[in-house]
Amino acid sequence: MRLHDTITPHIALAALTISLVACGGGGDSTDTTIADLAPISAVPTNTAPILTLATSSLEIESLSTSSIELITSDADGDSLSLSLSSPSFISAEIQGSQLLINANDVQTQQQESLIVSLSDGQVSVEQTLLVIISPITQQSLLTLPESQFNYANIVLPQHYNVNAFANNFPFQSAAITSDNTPDNNPITDNGATLGRVLFYETKLSLNDSVSCASCHVQAEGFSDSRRLSVGFDGGETRRHSMSLTNARFYQTGKFFWDERAETLEQQVLMPIQDSVEMGLTLTQLVDVITAQPYYAALFSSAFGDETVTSERISFALAQFIRSMVSIDARYDQGRVTVNNPLDDFGNYSLDENAGKRLFMTPRNGIAPCSSCHSSEAFIGPVIADDSNATTSASNNGLDASSDADLGVFESTGSMGHRGKFKSPSLRNIEVTAPYMHDGRFDTLSQVIEHYSSGIAAHPTLQGSLRDSDGNPVRYNFSAIEQAQLLAFLATLTDESLLTDEKFSDPFVR
């Protein structure tokens, strides 16, 4: 039987079989037609399954659950199986046609790729879902009093306005003479109120997680109990957060431990732009503050119209910080009962008065502690009118040399400034541990012991901490004297400032 060339291969095979049968035997055989044969099936071809996700990306909040629709199909009717990858910050499961996503607890925004696989036993297909997990958004309600708090007209005690120390205390002066408030940014109630809101505003950070108050805690003297503060993305700051108490009375008006900010108005914007601390650009800062509905009225009250600028933000923050004046410690309560700060205070114990004398008066020819924590605001050293000094920062002999942190030198480039750091106010010192620019001392007892026996011979060591031969002095405080100094320093704690509502968080979170 002859077949035409166009017959398909499986028919040709059948025809060949027929021909062999028909021609292979005896004369009783009969011809069999193709139509008399059963059809021969083709080899089956598998079709890949189809997997469809309702979306390619999903945003979800920490500790919450979300779901998307998941559709599967297979043209061959094969049995299908689904599987999921296991990312770190989410868990997932499939319930019917829904893909359920559960977010773990995160403190900073995270991104995960969840891979969904579908198999029919022969072929697998995949889809990737990008999951963005954000920290829990705090629902904040701004609450401000109907009657404004008083920030602008704080009545300073007489001992802030008049220097009552004798003439043989040349390092002393009245705190008010060191007031660094600029003429173009006086404290106003409206401005400081705006500054208070901004100070506690977490939207000043890139991921809405930290505010100025995160590193300057009211109960901790507007300092931070951590050695190094933690920024918006979990990174640590380079230095310890200095207390903001009595910032108004730093004579030079320079800020940060290395005095790199010439004014408080400059300083308040720097952490916001720092890549570790808050992470915003000034453009982003203005945009995010403008977007919050409660700021329009606050800016209008403070500056005359609703326009938000970075300068106005800096002015308001600076006004709020300058209003953080400590005037109601036990020291102040006792001070108003005497004419001279060296006199015994009636509300002090014997040890507290003894500690005050140790702090304020020279010891065996060595300058007193108050020479570097001067005035009755207990702020940094004062530069004399006839001095050509450009900084009041000092080197207190923490180290014999400066390597990793060069202090004010990093801002000025002057070799004489290596290892020098700004001296903070000692108001509320009891609650501002740890101490020094690097937080190396956990307790005030360790600080006192440093001055008693541990001052190092650094090349730029403060002159008042050298003896006549140029060697570091030793105060050599006895155990009793150290306890007396501790007792006195505790009287500088101003509970009013630490608890006053006008300095507290105005947001209900």
User: In which band, very low, low, confident or very high, does the pLDDT at 41 lie, cut at 50, 70 and 90?
Assistant: low
Count the Cβ atoms, other than its own, within 10 Å of residue 63: 13
Q: Is the pLDDT of residue 19 over 80?
A: no
Residues 6+ apart with CB under 8 A from 126: 51, 115, 116, 117, 118
Tell me what pLDDT residue 269 has.
Answer: 98
Tell me what pLDDT residue 21 has.
Answer: 40
* pLDDT tens string 284-337: 999 999 999 999 999 999 999 999 999 999 999 999 999 999 999 999 999 999
Q: Residue with structure tokens 């308001």?
A: 316
* pLDDT tens string 159-181: 999 999 999 898 899 999 999 99
Tell me what pLDDT residue 39 has.
Answer: 59
Cα–Cα distance measured from residue 199 to residue 182, given in angstroms and rounded to the nearest whole number: 20
Backbone angles phi, psi at 22, to 5 degrees: -65, -30
Backbone angles phi, psi at 430, to 5 degrees: -60, -30
3-state secondary structure of 158: helix
Q: How far is CA 70 from CA 85, 87, 195, in A?
A: 15, 19, 49
200-209, 243-252, 388-397, 409-418: the lowest-pLDDT one: 388-397
Tell me what pLDDT residue 139 has.
Answer: 60
Q: Mean pLDDT score of the chain, rounded to an integer?
A: 90
Tell me what pLDDT residue 247 has.
Answer: 97
Cα–Cα distance measured from residue 125 to residue 116, given in angstroms and rounded to the nearest whole number: 8
Cα–Cα distance measured from residue 357 to residue 363, given in angstroms and rounded to the nearest whole number: 10
User: In which band, very low, low, confident or very high, does the pLDDT at 72 lie, cut at 50, 70 and 90?
Assistant: very high
- Asked if residues 322 and 503 have their Cβ atoms less than 8 Å apart, the reply is no
Mean pLDDT within 247-271: 97
Tell me what pLDDT residue 170 has.
Answer: 87
Token code pair at residue 4: 């035409």
Q: Is the pLDDT of residue 38 over 70?
A: no
107-116, 128-137, 277-286, 447-456: the lowest-pLDDT one: 128-137
Q: Is the pLDDT of residue 3 over 50?
A: no
Residues 6+ apart with CB under 8 A from 355: 481, 484, 485, 486, 487, 488, 489
Residue among 31, 98, 24 at smallest CA distance from 68:
98
Q: Is the pLDDT of residue 375 over 90?
A: yes
- The bridge status of strand 124-134 relative to strand 110-119 is antiparallel
Residues 6+ apart with CB under 8 A from 409: 258, 402, 415, 417, 418, 419, 420
36-50, 52-66, 168-182: the lowest-pLDDT one: 36-50
* pLDDT tens string 457-477: 999 999 999 999 999 999 999
Cα–Cα distance measured from residue 323 to residue 319, given in angstroms and rounded to the nearest whole number: 6
3-state secondary structure of 220: helix
pTM: 0.75
3-state secondary structure of 119: strand
Burial of 290 (C-beta count, 10 Å sphere; 0-12/13-18/19+): middle
Cα–Cα distance measured from residue 78 to residue 72, given in angstroms and rounded to the nearest whole number: 11
3-state secondary structure of 346: coil
Per-residue b or e along 36-62, where b marks 16 or more CB atoms closer than 10 Å to that residue's CB = eeeeeeeeeeeebbebebeeeebebeb
Tell me what pLDDT residue 100 has.
Answer: 85
Q: Is the pLDDT of residue 37 over 60?
A: no
Token code pair at residue 88: 């770190």
Q: Is the pLDDT of residue 494 over 90?
A: yes
